[in-house]
């Protein structure tokens, strides 16, 4: 007489049950969808740093690199072949910037309109009269940055706008007597992208340097590489004011700022997608528990449709976010797919309360993605959600009816 085979162990029964619940195939669908979204968003982000960024610059401006003016001199009345450099006695510059963010897909670019106002003083400390040439560089594409309203004054009198043959510099020539000085005032409007840098001449000392950059429309400022940080800074409430003030510098340096930026929503979508595995696992665990509770095993098609809905949420979010504000796109996506999933699952389990299904959707999709939207509270949100799940599990496994139900379902002789 043949001896009957021993009953399968608990692990084997558990894996068999998971297979019967179509868990592995469902997770495969979600992982595939989320990885595709994350990979595409990452690719577009890298692309945005190259060709898309170039396209944005061609339409909305470019990073602003404004060099300080230079002064060259020669003794009056002499024949010369070379001009000598003259350090400016004063450089007072004020830049008023108004943020004008530009959106391309999910990427926001820090566009800004600004007004440049600079006052410079050159002094003749030679024992003789000198002829000087004051040159203010304008090394920008004037149509690209909408260069406008240029004005130039010498000793508070309007001067001619001599931009040279190539139109890339403002030039003034004149004579300074012994001990004399000349003041130059330059004003213009333009627009830029991402950053503003003011570069002093590194080969000359700088005296009485003051640069003030005032920004409206954002306050999360930063500094470009190799740029001296501001000596005074006030930020908050969508406004930033930065001041560089130095009585004397032995050599010129670069001063400037990276303008405020908005959240990188492409990075948020990628992060949500990469973190979707464990929320999806929890979502399918809830579906499996509902199947146990109502003694109705989900078919492979029903499980895969639920999985597709969970994974496709991130696809819709990425595309909606490219055409509207990301927070609104997130709210619409979560609401639309939440309603669809609740309706679908409630038809699979008509005796189950809709608020239970809605709660499962909120816990496994809305809260985890909201945690990514709120980076300052991500850890706290995850911790509180895990704590709530732990407390709910503790309450369930100590319930006599639940214990009896699980014992009946997973005992060697019970129905799996």
Is 5 part of a structural domain of the chain?
Answer: no
What total of structural domains would you count in the chain? 2
Q: How large is the average pLDDT for residues 397-411? A: 67
Strand order in the sheet with 195-199: 64-67, 195-199, 254-258
pLDDT above 60 for 49:
no
Rounded to the nearest angstrom, the gap between the alpha carbon of residue 228 and the centroid of all alpha carbons in its chain is 23
Kindly report, residue by residue over 291-308, the tens digit of the pLDDT: 878 888 888 888 888 888
53 assigned to some structural domain: no
The kind and range of the H/E element at 49 are: none
**Residues in contact with 405: Cβ distance below 8 Å, sequence separation at least 6, in sequence order:** 292, 293
The pLDDT tens digits for 219-276 are: 888 898 889 889 999 988 889 999 999 998 887 789 999 988 776 777 788 888 888 8
Instruction: Tell me the whole-structure pTM to 2 decimals.
Output: 0.66
The CATH number for 172's domain is 2.60.40
Q: First and final CA of the chain: distance in angstroms?
A: 28
HEC string for 220-277? CCECCCCCECCCEEEEECCEEEEEEEEEEECCCCEEEEECCCCCCHHHHHHHHHHCCH
Of 196, 226, 258, the domain-final residue: 258
Q: Tokens 């409430």 map to which residue?
A: 237
Region of poorest pLDDT, from 62-76, 220-234, 377-391: 377-391
251 shares its domain with 191: yes
Does the residue 416 lie in any domain?
no
Largest separation between any pair of C-alpha atoms in the chain:
127
Is 401 inside a domain boundary?
Answer: yes
- The model's pLDDT over 128-175, given as tens digits with 9 standing for 90+, comes to 899 999 999 987 665 667 788 889 999 989 988 877 677 778 888 899
Q: What is the pLDDT of residue 181?
A: 92
Stretch 42-63: mean pLDDT: 63
CB 138 within 8 A of CB 113: no
Does pLDDT of 48 surpass 50? no
Tell whether 3 is covered by a domain: no
Q: How far is CA 35 from CA 27, 264, 306, 311, in A?
A: 12, 19, 18, 10
Asked if the model's pLDDT at residue 69 lies above 90, the reply is yes
Running DSSP on this structure, what letter comes out for residue 163? -
Domain shared by 26 and 83, yes or no? no
Quote the percentage of the chain above a pLDDT of 70. Answer: 80
Determine the pLDDT at residue 332.
94
Quick one: pLDDT band at residue 201, thresholds 50, 70, 90? confident
Point out the least confidently predicted range of 64-73, 86-95, 116-125, 275-284.
275-284
- Per-residue confidence band for 358, with pLDDT thresholds at 50, 70 and 90: very high
Higher pLDDT, 18 or 132: 132
**In this structure, are residues 178 and 129 in contact, taking their beta carbons and an 8 Å threshold?**
yes
Q: Give the range of the structural domain holding residue 246, as residue numbers without chain letter.
A: 63-258
pLDDT value of residue 307: 84
**Banded model confidence at residue 281, pLDDT cuts 50, 70, 90:** confident
Is 55 contained in some domain? no
Q: Are 194 and 151 in contact (CB under 8 A)?
A: no
């Amino acid at each position: 007489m043949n001896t009957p085979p021993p009953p399968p162990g608990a692990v084997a029964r558990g894996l068999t049950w998971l297979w019967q619940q179509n868990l592995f195939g469902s997770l495969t669908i979600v992982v595939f969808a989320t990885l595709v979204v994350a990979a595409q968003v990452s690719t577009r982000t890298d692309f945005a740093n190259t060709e898309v960024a170039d396209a944005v610059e061609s339409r909305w401006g470019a990073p602003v690199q404004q060099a300080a003016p230079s002064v060259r001199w020669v003794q009056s009345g002499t024949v010369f072949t070379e001009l000598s450099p003259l350090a400016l006695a004063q450089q007072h510059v004020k830049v008023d910037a108004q943020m004008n963010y530009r959106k391309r897909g999910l990427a926001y670019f820090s566009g800004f309109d600004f007004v440049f106002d600079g006052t410079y003083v050159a002094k003749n400390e030679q024992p003789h009269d000198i002829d000087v040439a004051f040159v203010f560089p304008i090394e920008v594409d004037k149509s690209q940055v909408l260069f406008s309203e240029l004005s130039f004054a010498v000793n508070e009198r309007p001067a001619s706008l001599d931009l040279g043959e190539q139109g890339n510099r403002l030039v003034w020539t004149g004579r300074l007597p012994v001990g004399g000085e000349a003041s130059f005032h330059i004003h213009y409007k333009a627009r830029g992208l991402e950053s503003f840098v003011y570069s002093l001449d590194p080969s000359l000392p700088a005296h009485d340097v003051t640069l003030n950059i005032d920004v409206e429309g954002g306050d999360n400022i930063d500094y470009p590489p190799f740029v001296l940080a501001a000596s005074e800074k006030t930020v908050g409430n969508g406004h930033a004011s930065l001041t560089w003030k130095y009585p004397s510098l032995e050599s010129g340096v670069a001063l400037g700022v990276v303008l405020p930026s908005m959240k990188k929503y492409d990075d948020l979508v990628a992060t949500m997608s990469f973190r979707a595995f464990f929320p999806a696992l929890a979502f399918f665990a809830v579906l499996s528990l509902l199947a146990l509770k109502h003694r109705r095993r989900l078919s492979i098609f029903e499980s895969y449709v639920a999985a597709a809905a969970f994974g496709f949420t991130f696809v819709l979010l990425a595309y909606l976010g490219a055409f509207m504000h990301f927070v609104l796109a997130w709210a619409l996506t979560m609401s639309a797919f939440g309603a669809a999933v609740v309706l679908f699952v409630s038809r699979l389990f008509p005796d189950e309360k809709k608020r239970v299904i809605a709660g499962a959707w909120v816990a496994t999709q809305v809260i985890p993605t909201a945690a990514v939207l709120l980076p300052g509270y991500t850890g706290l949100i995850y911790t509180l959600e895990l704590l709530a799940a732990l407390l709910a599990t503790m309450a369930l496994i100590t319930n006599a009816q639940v214990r009896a139900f699980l014992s009946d379902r997973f005992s060697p002789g019970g129905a799996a």
